[in-house]
Amino acid sequence: MFTGLKTRLLSLITIYLMIMFTTITVVAYGFYSEEIKDQSDKYFLEKINGTVEQLDNLIYRMDRVSSQLLASTTLQKMFFEASKAAYAEQNYFEHNIDDRKIAQDILWTFNSPKTSVENIHIYTNASYLGLRYNPSVAEVKAYALTNEVVYEAGRSYFLRGAHTDGMDQVNSLKVISLIRPFVATNYGFMDIGVIEVVEKYQDVIDACILGQNEQSLGMAVLDYNGQVIYASDEWIRTTSDEIFEVTRDNEQGHLLTLTMEAQDYRMAYRSLEEYPWYVVLLQSDEAFRQPFRSFMSQLLLGIGALSVLVFVAILLTVGSVTKPIQGLIGEIDGYNLREEPLMAHYQIKEVQTLQSAFIRLMKRLDDSVERLLVARETELNLRVMTLQSQINPHFLYNALNAISSVADDEGDEKVPLMCYQLSELFRYTSSDSEASTTLADEINHIQTYMDFAKWRYEEMFSYSLVCNGDMAKIKVPKLVLQPLVENAFTHAFKKIYPPYNLEISCHVNAKNWCFEVKDNGGGFEAKELKSLLMRMRHIDRILDEQLSYDMIKTDDKAILNIYIRLKLKYKHRLNISLGNRDEKSGAWFRIEVADGLVLEGGQDGD
């Protein structure tokens, strides 16, 4: 199985890379798994601490405003008067407009841009003072009844979670409230009302919101009774009881494990400094381990890439060992019997011996190849003659149809001229056994053919012929251009209604000559054009690589017959192009032969 030197070396290298790959993976797993876990734990707790800090700042701001209002002696005096029996059924500030203006100025003073809150309510059973609104006594009493709170022992205020501000008659935004009793410290610590500082619930959401790279986390804020103040996902809200139990049974500030609905979660919580609310952060164990899995994937990818680079480097080294043999194989593959071999000198004796033996063998084959080429050339000439003979039946058929049509329509006056033209056409096609003629003769033959065609088509057919240069000096294969004109009648014009038109041009200069024919027929179909171009390339390969000529198939297509004949004569100097004139009508065919074609005495460069 492993008989080659290169195969054995590469097998040993592959085994080595597999061992190295496994070793690095195991070591990296043991070394980095704990470190990545610690980093994840740290990020987990930092996220909670940041949220707690923002919520503490929010509550501190609300408490600061309420404390400043509580300490105002002016407000204490006004609400002390409002709490008297005389104002049990009426709003003190509706009957004391000056006090109301002073009190509201105080509210706006304490609600400065530095400690701005959404709203402030100070009220008794009937009297009310706020930033913007002036409710009726009935509305104040109703609000006081629905807003009753029970203060925890030892706590000076109460935080109410998400709700709608009952005194806001314009907006329906969710808010949170800090509510504390208004105690008149200057009047024997008497309860004279309630102070409520209102802030947008959106501030709580902003403090708890998770970023795009934290979508796998879940966050909740619970009060001291386990009620949900905020939940980032609905499933956290539905499992809040289980989460609250963990906060009661475990110490805060540590990473905990929680199992819910048959799935493991990592959890941490911390209470606020300002109020007994708890911030809880959860993440599924699978998502918690994702950074480690990502690291391992990147590590494996990196090791794989490194292994490929190492393998390539070693492959190049092994290649340098086997390079002399590969070089000899390349020289043998590129050997050309018609050229003098240019063999490199090898330092390895065995390779040099093989090279010498190969050269001797090629020289013995050279004579046999020459004889084979002569036979193949003869075979090709016979095939070319066969291709040329395929043109005559079409031509004869068209000629007889033309004479018959004119004889019926015009009598005998035109027949002699037609017969003369026809005899000239037959004379040109069968005058002798020569396979070549001049470009001038070929053009004259084409003109005779088109003049003869006009007898049949009359006004339905027209042509133009433009020629420049000395065409008598250019040797071309006989009947290599006329089939292009005949092709228009046999194919292109059958797809359209008359009139028919041909445009023919031929130009000769000192370096090249070109011939072009255009028709107004139906044009090439896309599939047909693509097939022709592919088959022309196939013929190029057969001729260039000297493959068997039996592989050449033309299917009696005039264009392919012409291409083969011209290619054999002009080889790489020939350029043939074809296509459609536009989307509506017409095809064109162009032959161009270049590079010093015209020689003195009328011979070409072959």
Q: Count of CB atoms within 10 A of residue 386's CB?
A: 11
The identity of residue 539, as a single letter, is I
Q: Phi and psi dihedrals of 344, rounded to 5?
A: -80, 160
The pLDDT of residue 464: 93
CA dist list (Å): 76 to 81, 119, 272: 9, 19, 31
Q: Residue 503: its pLDDT value, please?
A: 93
Q: Give per-10-residue mean pLDDT for the chain (606 aa).
A: 63 77 74 72 86 92 91 92 89 91 88 79 89 84 79 80 83 88 89 91 90 79 89 85 82 80 83 89 78 72 79 70 66 62 64 70 63 54 53 56 65 65 67 72 90 87 92 87 87 87 92 92 88 88 74 72 87 90 82 64 41
**Model's pTM, two decimal places?**
0.48
pLDDT score for 98: 92
Tell me the two tokens of residue 461. Answer: 């057919």
How buried is residue 427: exposed, middle or buried, by Cβ count under 10 Å (0-12/13-18/19+)?
A: exposed
pLDDT at 173: 85
Dihedral of the alpha carbons of 116, 194, 175, 89, in degrees to the nearest 10: -120
Backbone φ and ψ of 496, nearest 5°? -135, 170
For residue 293, give every residue at least 6 positions away whose Cβ sits within 8 Å of its Cβ, in sequence order, or none.
Answer: none
Rounded to whole angstroms, the Cα distance separating 477 from 270 reads: 99
Mark out the alpha helices in 390-510 (DSSP H runs): 391-410, 415-430, 439-457, 482-490
Radius of gyration for the chain, computed over Cα atoms and rounded to the nearest angstrom: 51
* DSSP assignment of 227-239: -EEEESSHHHHHT
pLDDT at 597: 47
Structure tokens at 552: 């050449």
Residues 6+ apart with CB under 8 A from 337: 362, 365, 366, 369
Burial state string for 576-586 with b = 16 or more CB within 10 A and e = fewer than 16: bebebeeeebb
pLDDT value of position 547: 72
Would you state the pLDDT for residue 539?
86
pLDDT at 604: 47
As a three-state string, the secondary structure of 58-72 is: HHHHHHHHHHHHHCC
The total of other beta-carbon atoms located within 10 Å of residue 512's CB is 18
Label the pairing between strands 128-130 and 174-184: unpaired
